[in-house]
Structure 1
């Protein structure tokens, strides 16, 4: 049961915060909490109408799609089913790079630039408008409330994005303090840092945890090894996202912190795609997201078959994501969840795997500490980091053009700052980086024992 302070935050202060930022997240969330109980058939009708309106809008206001529809002879007014999406080509990172300006709506105002590496380590620049932000916030908020917690309940966030960490200015710090959200940087996992993390969690008494599954499970293992009891703090749920959640990680987090683990799937580019409910269903945010599963030739696959996850975001009029290839692998489920929600289900999500790396002095760090160095270099197209030993790390890079010696020096120096000044960093420029034998792409691989 939420306390008075949580009611004040979720019912007044956070809505005021969103209103001042000109976000419609409060009304969107309230609408979603009604539509989630629609029948699957009614949800498809809702999606179909939203899709038609989106296609009509971008045909008028987005130069890239206006040209594309004309070339294809595609009439968005005639779109009458979700299957009509299959008349349109896929959107991928290379298309976004090539047509970045043409993908902006001529009505868009206040677009925010984002930079993400995606699940393949391939950097991408794109833009998001207030409509899209509002819907993504609302979707996450709704999923949070499924677990009996709300904005304003004490929260520990174990995260590593410089977008968040770099935003810890005075205003952001005060906001987080007001909303009872504490951010712990996930990059460095030394014993001293882990001791500090556990001490902070114990003193803060959060109702929820949020972070990478690899980071939370690593903290949990350390707590067990150190004999520090964490299951008596009243934590109600641990939300994990950004990586594939493995069964052993789920067990470790749940056992150590004494709470269920709720898996989430999405990204800055594709949106808040799906989230797990207490009944175990991985519900797609169907009011905003259409998910297709396609084979290697781009042909749609039926329920139960594994293929690439392709996403259409229905609240992306300012910078459309239509049939966007995520590079992740998943399976759609045709069953109805026991919770009674009509939202469709993802049976399984495969793909993203972020490893830890170990610095020369023994400090364990999240792989993202190295990933962000390359991700924020626009000339780097694809990369893979292989930590061969404590003293040697290879960095494979596919670049649009050959890297300048100064850029190679920048990579080397940045890696040595994190791994150790005496570590040899070898930057290898290659034409392509193949996937693993399993078909998955691992963009950080550490061969150091004990990681």
Structure 2
């Protein structure tokens, strides 16, 4: 933390008692994991690597014993997980990607896993994924996020505005969830719709709420910030300490806009439902990898490691995923590892640069501006959809390319058209085309949501 501020009595009650009880009732070890992480974050890089090796060996031994997919894989390549002596031994194992998980979901699951929760990826990569995680993984991910939150002198129980769009969150607003959010002083604003009226209401609510922290997509928070600035509405007098952003690439102009308008620093976060809470920015400006839980590799196109300072695909092994192992999982993102130490004193390794995650805003027929994920989520929850690309040609026409597990039929087409028209307008033409693969742009980069309609018009 930059300072050691004493939390208010309500925040201390929530973070010190009510939230720990909440996690205990859910049989999560979140509190113990977070406290341990607040010690290990200051360990030396060598000591952290030793911890990673110990946990990696335990993960691989269990995978080789209890996961049919990995048991067969290890036997086929002659790999003995108990015999590993270095983190580099991980390079002997094959990479794990979304098609492999889809094809071997039952086999990847550990035979002693018990009841697991079903999760979906956000799908902004163009390849939605259904997978499963256990309580150990949830405990570690929540703990990692909680630790990083506390770096910025805010805590669970401080007033928070969340600008988000996932139907997982938006669909969970039942009575118990509403009670929990009220106690935690968290308020959710749906990020899908960005009409002038909605933006006015968001600005008004943030001013009324006076949150201590913001959380959301960088595109959504910067969109709200631009709107407030255009309205001549001051937002830097509310006492907001930090704006946490994640789920998309953070651009320099977005950071500058959010910081200028809200008068607070922006803390970038990187991760996902599948890969876990990979890295978070500290107040000194560095993106620290959650090394206690995650091993990050950067690989070239041939799958070989690249040196720190060079760009490569980010591949992660999550050490708390014994129930449904994520070992050498390809994120599809490009990043650069750092070799230096951060001035904050933490020994956690650095992720210097993240490339390639961005979704556009879309404009409905009536002029409503919405986040690109509004359409992504329709496709990502259809197991038959392997990958996709959405191009909004005009207010009247949106084209969808899909790679499917089976031939495109009237039922699949109707489901996509119905979902898209519910967002874009009943009169909008939706063209659905089945293709063998999604092709990259001329630049070589992949974009899965493209709007040719100016959302600022």
Q: Which of 24, 46, 53 is equivalent to 1:48?
A: 53
**Is the Cα contact below 8 Å between 1:294 and 1:310 reproduced in 2?**
yes
1:137 and 2:142 are equivalent in the alignment: yes
User: Scaled by the length of structure 1, what TM-score is found?
Assistant: 0.99
Cα deviation, 1:185-221, whole Å, max 9, x if unaligned, reads: 1010111111111111111110000000000000000
Separation in 1, partners of 2:124, 2:325:
20
Cα deviation, 1:143-169, whole Å, max 9, x if unaligned, reads: 000000000000000000011111100
**Is the Cα contact below 8 Å between 1:52 and 1:76 reproduced in 2?**
yes
1:328 and 2:333 are equivalent in the alignment: yes
Alignment match, 2:214: 209
Separation in 2, partners of 1:366, 1:440:
21
Separation in 2, partners of 1:272, 1:373:
24
Q: Which of 335, 358, 366 is equivalent to 2:363?
A: 358
Task: Quote the offset at 1:440 in angstroms.
Answer: 2.5
1:193 and 2:184 are equivalent in the alignment: no
Q: How does 1:169-318 map to 2 (within 5 A)?
A: 169-318=174-323
Give the aligned length: 451
Alignment match, 2:403: 398
**Is the Cα contact below 8 Å between 1:352 and 1:441 reproduced in 2?**
no
The alignment partner of 1:353 has SS state of coil
The alignment partner of 1:290 has SS state of strand
Q: Which of 72, 75, 84 is equivalent to 1:70?
A: 75
Q: Which of 91, 96, 117 is equivalent to 1:91?
A: 96
Separation in 1, partners of 2:125, 2:406:
19
Cα deviation, 1:227-278, whole Å, max 9, x if unaligned, reads: 1111100000000000000000000001000000000000000000000000
Task: Quote the offset at 1:437 in angstroms.
Answer: 3.0
The alignment partner of 1:18 has SS state of helix
Separation in 1, partners of 2:35, 2:445:
38
Q: How does 1:128-167 map to 2 (within 5 A)?
A: 128-167=133-172
**Is the Cα contact below 8 Å between 2:215 and 2:243 reproduced in 1?**
yes
Which consecutive residues of structure 1, in runs of 5 or more, have no partner in the other structure?
none
Task: Quote the offset at 1:77 in angstroms.
Answer: 1.0
User: Scaled by the length of structure 2, what TM-score is found?
Assistant: 0.97
Separation in 2, partners of 1:327, 1:7:
40
**Is the Cα contact below 8 Å between 1:47 and 1:286 reproduced in 2?**
yes
Separation in 1, partners of 2:377, 2:369:
16
Choose 105-114 or 322-331, whichever is displaced more. Answer: 105-114
Alignment match, 2:14: 9
Task: Quote the offset at 1:441 in angstroms.
Answer: 1.7
1:412 and 2:417 are equivalent in the alignment: yes
The alignment partner of 1:102 has SS state of helix
Task: Quote the offset at 1:413 in angstroms.
Answer: 1.9
Separation in 1, partners of 2:34, 2:22:
15
Separation in 1, partners of 2:61, 2:444:
37
Which consecutive residues of structure 2, in runs of 5 or more, have no partner in the other structure?
none
**Is the Cα contact below 8 Å between 1:118 and 1:267 reproduced in 2?**
no
1:427 and 2:441 are equivalent in the alignment: no
Task: Quote the offset at 1:119 in angstroms.
Answer: 4.3
The alignment partner of 1:101 has SS state of helix
Alignment match, 2:130: 125
Separation in 2, partners of 1:439, 1:47:
35
Separation in 2, partners of 1:231, 1:295:
43
Task: Quote the offset at 1:110 in angstroms.
Answer: 2.3
**Is the Cα contact below 8 Å between 2:163 and 2:220 reproduced in 1?**
yes
Alignment match, 1:34: 39
The structure 1 segments of at least 4 consecutive aligned residues displaced by more than 3 Å after TM superposition are none
